[in-house]
Each structure stands twice: as C-alpha cells, then as structure tokens.
Amino acid sequence: MGLPMSDPTAWATAMNNLGMAPMGMTGQPLLPDEVKHVVVRCFDKTTMSKMNTHHLSRHPDFDPALGMMTGIPPINPMMPGLGIVPPPIPPDMPAVKEIIHCKSCTLFPPNPHLPPPATRERPPGCKTVFVGGLPENGTEQIIMEVFEQCGEVIAIRKSKKNFCHIRFAEEFMVDKALYLSGYRIRLGSSTDKKDTGRLHVDFAQARDDLYEWECKQRMLAREERHRRRLEEERFHPPSPPPVVHYSDHECSIVAEKLKDDTKFSEAVQTLLTWIERGEVNRRTANNFYSMIQSANSHIRRLVNEKAAHEKEMEEAKEKFKLALSGILVQFEQIVAVYHSASKQKAWDHFTKAQRKNISVWCKQAEEIRNIHNDELMGIRREEEMEMSDEEIEDPSEMKETDESALVSQVEALKEENDSLRWQLDAYRNEVELLKQEHGKASRDEDTTKEQQLKLLQQALQGMQQHLLKVQDEYKKREAELEKVKEDKLKIEALLETLKEQVCDFLILSYSSAVNAVLALHGL
C-alpha cells in the first residue's frame, strides 16, 4: 500500500477508495452492518482529503479516530475524467452528492431530498450538453476547468445570457456532465450574485452529433450487409464454368459429347451458347448442322425413356391395386370375426367392457375397410376413364372390350354388394344389441335408446334401398351382358353365312371360267 500503518485516516481512506471495507489494526471491520447504506461519489482521488472535516465532525456517524463517517459503506466511487462508468444505485439507497473544489470555483451539491432535475429526451448520438445557470462573471476557462473532469471537451460555445453548449469527444461523457445538474457554483470565495449560479445541465441536439451518428449507423449497416453477403455466398452453389470459344477442335469435342447420354446436357448448353453468339456462318454451317442432327437423334432415346418410366408407373399402380385388394380381403375377414363374435351364441359370454371394446373395434375396422374400398373403386374408375376410342378399331374388338368392361363392372358391383351386406349385418347386430339393452336400461335412458334405435332403423332403411338399387343395376348389367353375347353369336353366324356365300360364288365363277376355256378350245 505504501502508507504508514500509524496513520489510521490515510489507511481508511485508501481502503475506501479501493472498494474494501476499512479494517482495524486487529483485523476487525470498523463499519457496523445495521447502519443504513449511503452512496458517496467523488470526482477525483484527492476529494476525500479535501473534504471539510469541520463539517463532518458535526455528523453523528463521524469517527474522529478514522477521520471518516462510519455509516458509509465502501464502494468504488466514480472517477470523472478516468472513463469509469458509475455503478447502478439501488432504489433504497439515496445518493448524497458532495462538495467539489476546483482551482477557480467551488461546486456545492443540491438538497438530496429534492427530486432530480428534469431532462429532455436524449437525441441519437448525443455528445453535446446545454449548461444553463452560469454566473455572469463565468468565463470559458472556468467552464473548461469544471467540465473537463467529465472527459475531453472538443468545443465550448458560450452565450452572453449565462448559458453555453459543450461538445464532448464521446457519448458516455455526457452522462458524467449531467451529474453536475443542480449544483450551485461559486467563483472563488465571493458571494456576489454575479459570481454565483445554479447549474442546469441537459441534453442538446446538434447537427454534428446527428451527422456522426448517421455516418456510424450507415457504416454499421454496410458492415452488416457485407457480413450477410459473405454468409449467403458461403451457401451459394459455385458458378458454372464459362463456355469456351468456338473452334474446330472444340466443335469435335462437343459433337462427341452430344452422342454421350451422360454429357448431353453440357454439350447442348455449349451448342446453344455458340448459336446465340453468332458462330454459325458458311464455313461452320455443316458442323453445326451435324451437331443439331445429333441433338435431334437424342429425342428418340428420351421418348423410349419416358415410355419405360410410364411402364414402371403402370406396374407400380397394378402392384398397389393388388396389394390393396389383399388388404381389403383381410379387412373383410377381420370384420367377419367381429360379426361372428357379436352373435348371441358368443356375445353372452363376454363382459360388458369386452363387448364395448369389440363393438368399437368393429366400427373402426368397417370405417377403414370402407375407405380402402372407395379408394380401390376410384382407381378402377380412373382406369375405365383412361380407355380412349382410338384403341377400339374393329367391331369384334369393341365387343370384346365392352364385354370385359361389363365383367369388371359386374365384379365391382358384386364387391360393393358384399360390403353393403356386411354393413347391413353390422347394423342389424347393433339394433339387436340396442333392443337387448333397451329392456335392462332405466327410464332415463329409454329416450336416448329410442332415438338411437330410430337413427339405426333409418340408416338400415337407407342401406336396404341402396342395396336394392345396386341389385337392380346388377340385373341390368347382366341383361346387357346377355344381350352382348347374343349379338356376338348373331355376328358370328352372319360371318359364317357370308363365308359360305363367298365360297359358293368362287366355285360358280371358277366353273364358268373353266367352261368358257373349254368352249374356246372346241372341247
């Protein structure tokens, strides 16, 4: 520390400036914990030694042995001019400002119980403050002496009406200057009105501050854009290599690449660039024509590749349809198991919870089965709609295709009829269960059961009507199929008669020709 241990005042002052609790020679703390905390801020390191000990000796917490107030906890004081930012002050700790001694003047702190002085809104990038309440005899040297402790002062613009504007080098220095707002200034030891005043420090709006702030914001925006551009360029794909210039050697290389399926895209791009550049002339026309011809021959391969993909897609559709049909068969089997378990013979042996679970499972399986069945029917309808008239050329093929379409429709109707029959059985089982539970339920549940019964009966009637319509349509399709078969037999009989007539005609014409030849020869 470099201080004699016999000087308790200097020792306590040094410990307080370092932010450490003053300790006695025996190592015990000298400050009691129950004393209310008070924050003391000083402007420089020598302020503590310059404090008026006469006034402090009257304070009840002043300890003459240490030369300081024992009720003040040690803190790191704000050192104006050293760039130290003041620590935050808790709301329960009132700030007590102290006297500031300068060479030409003295600053007396305001009443700590008064509210803090009002300030305007801080302009962006503010480095300039307004200082009012200066003494009439105050000069720029005195103002510089007071405010240069807050930081580097760039300019002072003093007015004749006891106020001035001070511009600092950094923004944080403005906060230190605002600390002096409310102080009473006295020049020397004079109490004349012209030598005294009450300082009012506030933010000031200056064009230079705004311009520097805008320049700084633009610089930050440029740096941000540059950073974003670098980030985007990291994820951008690399640029394609430039297209080479046309020459006979490059032309032969591109012609070979056009014949290679793996390098065709690159070669076509090069050919397109050469044509757009205007490389085609009388000398190179034949070379370009051969390259264009090679590109044209590539179309056949693309068409074959498309056909192969279409074939794969059709095979995948057929595979999916077969798998879906197998799934539907298994669903029908599962639903049949549920329906058989719902019959009276097996249903009485299950508990109420088991019956409930079986009925819920049955409904879920039927819903899923119906969804898959609708999907399969939709696939079949799409296949029927894809049949075009161009594929039907002669009447015999047309009849065969009509017959196959009718057969497929009949099969689809059969499947739909079976599914509807299963649904009808399920509804009947549910109606029977409701009837059984209807006799055991209480009067409060009778109304709900009757409503459910009516709804199920209505649904059952709707399903019966739909089943009748499907059966009628099934009969019509069978009649149309029989009619088509009869028409086919009639056409075959007509073809046989036509063949016989043609044979008879050929025989007669042959015999007449033979007779004519014999007559010519006189036989």
DSSP string, 187-215: ETT---GGGEEE-EEEE---HHHHHHHHH
pLDDT in tens, 473-488: 888 888 888 888 888 8
Q: What is the pLDDT of residue 220?
A: 95
pLDDT at 377 over 70: yes
Mean pLDDT of 89-101: 65
The DSSP line for 457-474 is: HHHHHHHHHHHHHHHHHH
Mean of per-residue pLDDT scores for the chain: 77
Mean pLDDT of 234-238: 82
Q: What is the pLDDT of residue 71?
A: 45
pLDDT in tens, 200-230: 999 999 999 999 999 999 999 999 999 999 9
pLDDT at 74 over 80: no
| Contact (CB, 8 A) for 199 and 182 | yes
**Going by DSSP bridges, is the β-strand pair 39-40/95-96 parallel, antiparallel, or unpaired?**
parallel
Q: What is the pLDDT of residue 476?
A: 87
* 3-state SS class at 237: coil
pTM: predicted TM-score of the whole model, two decimal places: 0.33
pLDDT in tens, 444-456: 566 777 787 888 8
Mean pLDDT of 503-518: 79
Mean pLDDT of 268-297: 90
Share of the chain above pLDDT 70, in %: 73
CA 205 to chain centre: 42
Out of 33-47, 49-63, 269-283, which region has the weakest mean confidence (pLDDT)? 33-47
Among candidate residues 152, 154, 129, the one with its CA nearest the CA of residue 205 = 129
Question: Any residues with CB less than 8 A from the CB of 474 and at least 6 apart, and which?
Answer: 410, 413, 414, 417
pLDDT at 289 over 80: yes
Mean pLDDT of 409-427: 72
CA distance 70 to 16: 11
Mean pLDDT of 47-66: 42
Q: What is the pLDDT of residue 127?
A: 93
pLDDT at 22 over 80: no
Confidence of residue 342 (pLDDT cuts 50, 70, 90): confident
Confidence of residue 41 (pLDDT cuts 50, 70, 90): very low
Higher-pLDDT residue of 235 and 509 is 235
Cα Rg for the chain, rounded, in angstroms?
54
pLDDT at 70 over 70: no
For the chain, the straight-line distance linking the first and the last C-alpha, in angstroms and rounded, comes to 162
